[in-house]
Amino acid sequence: MIQKSFWAALAAAALVTTGGALAQQGPVKIGFVTTLTTPSGYIGEETRDGFAIAMDQEDGNKLGGGEPMVADNGLRPDVAKQLVARTMPMDGAKINSGVIFFDIVAAVAPDYVAGKQP
């Protein structure tokens, strides 16, 4: 039950944070905060590369040519929270993606669920 509630809240948070991103004119900025270093970094590299391939093949310019702003969280929840907070208001990211590990999700998700930027 808790697991279902968590995933439902996370999905709702994704909708809240994307807001009018897809309706705006011009490129949509996407924050991609993932784990690229540490022994688990290969998973983040594969995720980043897969996301880039999907954008190239399937985007069809739906995001106005937006490029992901990739940042490494080093598998540290505190760093991930800071990076997400930076990419959203300062760099103008309307969407954030790339989170793989649960401890990172746990650090950034509460603010999304509450409907505010970290």
**Residue 111 CA to its chain's centroid (Å):** 13
Entry pTM: 0.68
The residue extents of the domains of the chain are 2-19+26-113
Q: What topology does CATH give the domain 2-19+26-113?
A: Rossmann fold (3.40.50)
- Name the region of 7 (left: φ>0; alpha: ψ -120 to 50; beta: rest): alpha
Per-residue pLDDT of the chain (118 residues; tens, 9 = 90+): 555 555 545 554 554 445 444 555 677 788 899 999 999 999 999 999 998 888 877 756 566 677 788 999 999 999 999 888 887 776 777 788 899 999 999 998 886 666 565 4
